[in-house]
Amino acid sequence: MRLEQLGLVRYGHFTDAAVTFPRPAGTAPDLHVIYGPNEAGKSTLFSAWLDLLFGIPTRTAYNFLHDNRALRIEADISSASGGLALARLKGNTNTLRDRATDAPLPEAALGAALGGLDRDAYTTMFSLDDDTLESGGESILDSKGDLGQLLFSASAGLADLSEALRGLHEEGAAWFRPTGRKFQLSAHKTRLAELVAERKAVDLQVSAWRKLSQTRAQAEASYLAARARRSETQTRAEQLRRDLDALPMLQRLNALQARLAELPEPQPLPADWGRALPDWMREEAELAALLPEARRAQAECARALDTLHDDPEALAVLPRLEGLEGQFGAIARQQADLPKRREELAELQDQMTRLVDRLERPGLTPADAILAPTIAQGLADLIEADAVLRSAEATAQQELDKAHRALQDRPDTPPLEGAALARLAPLVEELRRADLLRHSADAAEKLEAAQAARAQAFAALAPWQGTDADLSALDLPSPDSLRALDRTLTQAVQDARAAQGECDRLQDAVARLRADTCAAQPVSAAEAAAARTARDAAWTAHLGDLTRQSAEAFAAAMQADDAVSAARLEQAGLAERLRVVAQEQAALDLALARHGAATRQLAQVQAQVSAHWALLGVEGQGRHLADLIDWLARRDRALEAQARLHECTAAQRALADRLEGAAKSLGAALAALGRPLPSADYATSLAEAEALLATAEALRQTARLRADLDARALAVTQAQQARADWQQEWDRLCAATWIGTPAPNARDMRARLAIVAELGRLAPQADTMMRRIARIEEDIDSFTATLTQLAQTLNLPPAPQIDSLWPQLRQRLKQAQATQDERARLQTEGARAQERLDALALRHERLRAAIAPLQAHFGTESLAEIARQIDAIARATELSAEYASLHHDLAAHLRVSDPAPEFARLDALDVDQARAEAETLAATLAAQDDALRTAYADLAEAEKALEGTGHDGAAARLEAERQTLLLQIEDEAAQFMARQAGVIAVEQALRLYRDTHRSTMMARAADAFALLTAGRYTGLSTQPDGRGEILIAQQAGGATKPVDTLSKGTRFQLYLALRAAGYLELATTRPCVPFIADDIMETFDDTRAEAAFRLLAQMAGHGQVIYLTHHAHLCEIARKACPDVQLHDLRAL
């Protein structure tokens, strides 16, 4: 046996790991060293090998990563009978599997390769760690196990001889021990003394026997009379007790009958009515409370939705208002700061007036000379706005032209019918989600795979051939019955062999017994009776004469009778032997009958096996039940494949029907839209529907573009209007100043404003101040205009100040947002309320359907009334059963088949009188019991005295037993002496033989020990120790040591030497198995470790040897000791 690969699929911390053990080249040793640091899994691999061979224990330490049900070990093993690809799971049964098919395998598949070794034997001899190395070594030294017997026995096959000698010693000691008290010979002597005493006690005269016989007859008559009187009294007392005990039962029976009269007739009702009725009542009550509440909630949601008024205008301007949120604070601050700025402007204007006077321009006032800030700012803004307005107008015109171009290529077709389109869209969406075309393709693939699987499964049924109907119609026994038949066949073979062996044994025994009894001369019963009659006559004559002659005559008759008795005793032994012969002959006849029955049973079972194969149309000769069982498994797989093919075929047909139905639905929807496709398939119809939906979407896009065009035209109009407003404002500002009209263009106005700016040192400051005030006012006006525009959009009343207008807008928009949120919430709650209402309505309909049979049966709709009637019927049924049971018990108590006729007698019974009579009879019975016990005691004493007389031949039986016992003692003593002499001779011969012929294992162990200790110990020998032997180690200098005095390291080397010797010894008689060791060299130095690897290399020349270690330096030592060693690193897994 050799391990080719060990797979740790799910075991310990390993997942999908494997260690491969390549075969050595040529005749190189098959030695493997596996290295791994601590926690790398060395001990896990060591344990996995044992668990693969013998099963994973119920409690394992290697399920910390993978669950017990997931543990799996795999291995490739080669042996003389072929290769095995195995897997081992954790469980109670069928844990050994075929790795490829995962089919269960018998444990015998591994047992044959292991040569019959169990887990304990393999661990002791071929699987070593520190613990098993030491404990197994001690076991070997104690002569336990196969290796211990091989070590202390000669090689001539004497391994079992010591056990046989020990059994013979124990058998002899059980018959006789000089220093003991309890043994078989002592028991025989005690029984002889008892027989002599009993023989003397039974010898009495005839007259005494007659007197005792009369006494016994009188005592028997008195006993029978007392027993008859007591029986009569007992009968009357029992009758009264039965009557009195029956009265309460009769009263309960009458009460039950009265209660039954008040209840309805018992009738059979469905069992689930009573069990389900409480649930139905609870559900009816629950629905009665929940349905109105659900309707109310749904109605409230609807009413609340009706009361809500959306504000789409406010929601539309909500983004703009949110954008103005940041400006409001700045505008408010500017508005508060505006008076201060105006005061500063007034001061500047006062200064400017004095400056204008120095301009010497008559009639030009400071206000005329220095333009007002608002006017100057307005003119400046208008100058700046000129370019912006021109650009905005151009941009709006470009966008309008672009919108015109976008509408030129759009289709101008009438819109599709809305309702039909609304029906088509969800249908197409549902079909997209269903993805029927993909499912149809998948079904076709599955059907093709099922057809291939079915063909493969039916091909595996060869040589049987037929259709699936033929296969289903086969009436074959189940695998369990075939396994039972296999066990019956095995048992029949074993029974036939056992019966044959029993017949041979009994035939030999009968022949020996017949030879022992063929020379015996029997003494007839007539001769014995004549001798006894002559003795009695001589005794009677002697009692009458009492002379010397009569005494001599009696003595002669007595001697003759004794001689006949002795002959009869010997004949009794002969008869016993003849009885044994007859028994053995009967046993032989019975054994022959069993042998014939077993042979017939075997033939019947073999005929059944052939008949089972014949059902398949296959010749059963030479075929096994295991093949038929395997064929049945393939048949089941074939039937499953056929069923799967039917399922796939049905699934494909169902998909085809769905495709056809979907195509019809699409055709109807398209026809409603004026696009009928009478003969189109599903794919074409779906494509047409999708195209139609795309067209509808394009029409909706055209409508959106038209709306955009209108918006762009409005923007152009607004841009032109803004330009006109600018020009009007420009003319107005110019006319309002000393500039006059006609107003210059913006370019000329920019130059004049620059001249005005040169009025002096304060003019720029005034101008700046005026522009600042103008900008503030403009911002306020712009913000106010924006708010006013928003207010107009929302139809709010105008407000003079932004402080009052802003909160109104905020409140309006907040209300609009709140209304929108409330509508969404109410819609959600309404949907949920409707779902709850639908669910409750469905529950109510189901409840009505469930209780309808009960309402029809009982004629009422009230579940409470139905429950009351069911309870009454159940009570009536219960009481009726109780009445029948009590009626039966009363009949059994009164010992009648029908107790009804006894009811009148019991009703008329005087209870007090009956009780008084029963008490009287109880006292009478007590007295009669005392009298009966006294009479029985007198009878027993008389019988014992009569039986003790020996008149019935007890003396002869006792004497015969004594003689037989003496003969038995003689035979057993001869056997004891012969056995003891043989044991002494064999022990002496065995001792001499061991001294001259020590076992080959001892020699191998001595050589291995010398190698491991580098020659410090040269040999091993044994010496007697009490009833056994101990092992002695011989040192190189000639000194000797008992092995129990060696150091721990040396003892471990000895234990390894003993394993190596045992491995080499057993390799000569049985197939080799892998030898595996886990770091057993912890106590070895490098020199002895190298010697140990050389020893392992010798073992590896006969079989596979695997050594696991976490010491890296041992790998180099192993390579030095054996260059052909194969090294493995667990870190690579």
The answer to which of 107-116, 373-382, 586-595 has the lowest mean pLDDT is 586-595
Closest by Cα among 105, 218, 156, 324 to 943: 218
Q: What is the pLDDT confidence band of residue 154, given thresholds at 50, 70 and 90?
A: very low
Q: Between these two residues, 35 and 984, which has the higher pLDDT value?
A: 35
What phi, psi does 1108 have (nearest 5°)?
-110, 140
Position 636 pLDDT exceeds 70: yes
d(CA 90, CA 51): 9
- For the stretch 521-577, pLDDT in tens is 555 667 767 877 887 787 777 667 767 777 778 778 777 877 776 666 555 555 555
Residue 156 has pLDDT above 50, yes or no: no
Tell me the pairing of strands 31-35 and 1105-1109. parallel
**How much is the pLDDT for 795?**
67
Top CATH class of 479-615 equals mainly alpha
Q: How many CA atoms lie within 13 A of 196 on its CB side?
A: 6
Q: What is the mean pLDDT of residues 19-44?
A: 91
- Give, in order, the Cα–Cα distances in Å from 75 to each of 533, 558, 1108: 90, 89, 18
Instruction: List, in order, residues 6 or more apart from 1070 with CB less than 8 Å away.
Output: 115
C-alpha–C-alpha distance, residues 286 and 277, integer Å? 14
Secondary structure of 70-109 in the HEC alphabet?
HCEEEEEEEECCEEEEEEEECCCCCCEEECCCCCECCCHH
How far the first Cα of the chain sits from its last, in Å, is 25
- For 688, counting Cβ atoms within 10 Å of its Cβ (0-12 exposed, 13-18 middle, 19+ buried), the class is middle
Residue 483 CA to its chain's centroid (Å): 26
Both structure tokens of 543: 């009692």
Confidence band, pLDDT 50/70/90 cuts, at residue 217: confident
Q: With CA atoms as reference, report the closest residue to 816 among 324, 322, 323.
A: 322
pLDDT score of 484 more than 80: no
| Identity of the amino acid at 322 | E
In tens, the pLDDT along 358-390 reads: 545 566 666 666 667 787 778 778 888 887 887
Pick the CATH number of 1-115+1071-1133 from 3.40.50.300, 3.40.190.10, 3.40.1260.10, 2.60.40.10: 3.40.50.300
Higher pLDDT, 704 or 1106: 1106
**Quick one: pLDDT band at residue 31, thresholds 50, 70, 90?**
very high
Task: Provide the pLDDT for residue 674.
Answer: 64
How are strands ordered across the β-sheet holding 1126-1129?
Answer: 127-128, 1075-1078, 1105-1109, 31-35, 1126-1129
Query: For residue 14, what pLDDT is reported?
Result: 92
Q: Which two tokens stand for residue 858?
A: 């009982």
Q: For residue 909, give the nearest of 259, 258, 252, 251 by alpha carbon.
A: 251
CB-CB contact of 823 with 308 (8 Å): yes
Element housing 1033 (H / E): strand 1028-1035
d(CA 426, CA 125): 78
Tokens 């029809």 appear where? 856
Count CB-CB contacts under 10 A for residue 110. Answer: 22
SS3 1075: strand
CA-closest candidate to residue 244, choices 996, 1009, 914: 914
Q: How do residues 913-952 score in pLDDT, each as one tens digit?
A: 878 877 888 888 888 888 888 888 888 888 777 776 554 5
Tokens of 704: 């959106």
* Calpha distance 1010→1019 (Å, rounded): 7
For residue 26, which phi and psi values (nearest 5 degrees)? 60, -125
Contact, 45 vs 62, CB < 8 A?
Answer: no
Cα gap 916→538, rounded to integer Å: 69
Cis ω for the linkage preceding 373 (within 30 of 0): no
The whole-angstrom separation of Cα 471 and Cα 458 is 9
Q: Using DSSP, how many helices (H) and how many strands (E) does the chain show?
A: 31, 13
Position 505, amino acid: R
Report the pLDDT value the prediction gives residue 359, as an integer from 0 to 100.
Answer: 44
Q: What percent of the chain has pLDDT over 90?
A: 10
Maximum average pLDDT range among 285-294, 497-506, 751-760: 285-294
pLDDT in tens, 771-780: 888 888 787 7
When the pLDDT of each residue in the chain is averaged and rounded to a whole number, the result is 76
Q: How confident is the model at residue 1118 (pLDDT cuts 50, 70, 90)?
A: very high
At residue 22 the predicted structure's pLDDT band, cuts being 50, 70 and 90, is very high
Q: Give the residue-averaged pLDDT of 820-835.
A: 83
pLDDT at residue 602 is higher than 90: no
Angle of helix 802-858 relative to helix 312-357, nearest 10 degrees, comes to 170
Neighbours of 51 (CB within 10 A): 20
The SS3 of residue 1047 is coil
Return left, alpha or beta for 41; rule: phi > 0 is left, psi -120 to 50 is alpha, else beta.
Answer: left
Question: What pLDDT is attached to residue 482?
Answer: 67
**Burial label, 1131 (beta-carbon count in 10 A; 0-12, 13-18, 19+):** exposed
| Mean pLDDT in residue range 289-315 | 79
Write down the pLDDT at residue 1107: 95
Bigger pLDDT: 304 or 1118? Answer: 1118
Rg (CA), the chain: 61
Mean pLDDT for the stretch of residues 1073-1095: 89
Q: If pLDDT is split at 50, 70 and 90, which confidence band does 159 have?
A: very low
Tokens, residue 343: 């005061």
| pLDDT over threshold 60, residue 176 | yes
The residue type at 194:
E
Per-residue confidence band for 112, with pLDDT thresholds at 50, 70 and 90 = confident
Separation CA 799–CA 803 (nearest Å): 9
Per-residue pLDDT, 418: 57
Supply the DSSP string of 955-1022, one letter for each residue.
HHHHHHHHHHHHHHHHHHHHHHHHHHHHHHHHHHHHHHHHHH---HHHHHHHHHHHHHTTTSEEEEEE
Q: What is the pLDDT of residues 1123-1132, one digit of tens each?
A: 999 999 988 8
Distance set, CA 45 to CA 34, 96, 930, 1017 (Å): 10, 18, 83, 35
What is the per-residue DSSP string for 711-742? HHHHHHHHHHHHHHHHHHHHHHHHHTSTT-SS
Instruction: Determine if residue 752 is left, alpha or beta; phi over 0 gives left, psi from -120 to 50 gives alpha, anything else beta.
Output: alpha
861 and 855 Cβ atoms separated by less than 8 Å:
yes
Give 986's contacts (C-beta < 8 A, 6+ positions apart): 161, 165
What 1085-1089 contacts at long range (C-beta under 8 Å, 24+ apart), as own/partner pairs, is 1086/1113, 1086/1117, 1087/1014, 1088/1012, 1088/1013, 1088/1014, 1088/1049, 1088/1053, 1089/1114, 1089/1117
- Phi, psi (degrees; rounded to nearest 5) at 859: 70, 30
User: pLDDT tens for residues 674-713?
Assistant: 666 666 677 777 777 777 777 776 777 777 877 887 888 8
As a whole number, mean pLDDT of residues 725-733 equals 84
Cβ neighbours for 999, distance < 8 A, ≥ 6 positions apart: 150, 151, 152, 153, 154, 155
pLDDT of amino acid 996 = 47
| Enclosing H/E stretch for 1090 | helix 1086-1100
What pLDDT sits at residue 759?
66
User: Which residue in this structure is represented by tokens 């014949």?
Assistant: 614
- Residues ≥6 apart with Cβ < 8 Å to 864: 281
Q: Does 479-615 match 1-115+1071-1133 at the fold level?
A: no
Of 28-42, 407-421, 1053-1067, which gets the smallest average pLDDT? 407-421
Average pLDDT over residues 304-320: 72
Q: How large is the average pLDDT for residues 965-992?
A: 77
Report d(CA 116, CA 96) in Å as an integer: 17
Q: For residue 1122, what pLDDT is reported? A: 93
Listed by start position, the domains of the chain span 1-115+1071-1133, 206-262+877-941, 371-416+682-758, 418-473+628-672, 479-615
Distance CA 231, CA 45 (A): 83
Put residue 1068 in one of left, alpha, beta given phi > 0 → left and psi -120 to 50 → alpha. Answer: alpha
**What confidence tens digit (pLDDT) does each residue in 46-83 have?**
999 999 999 999 889 999 889 888 999 999 999 877 88
Omega within 30 of 0 (cis) for the link into 742 = yes
Please, what's the b/e burial string for 298-331 (b: 16 or more CB within 10 A of its CB; e: otherwise)? beebeeeeeeeeebeebeebbeebeeeeeebeeb
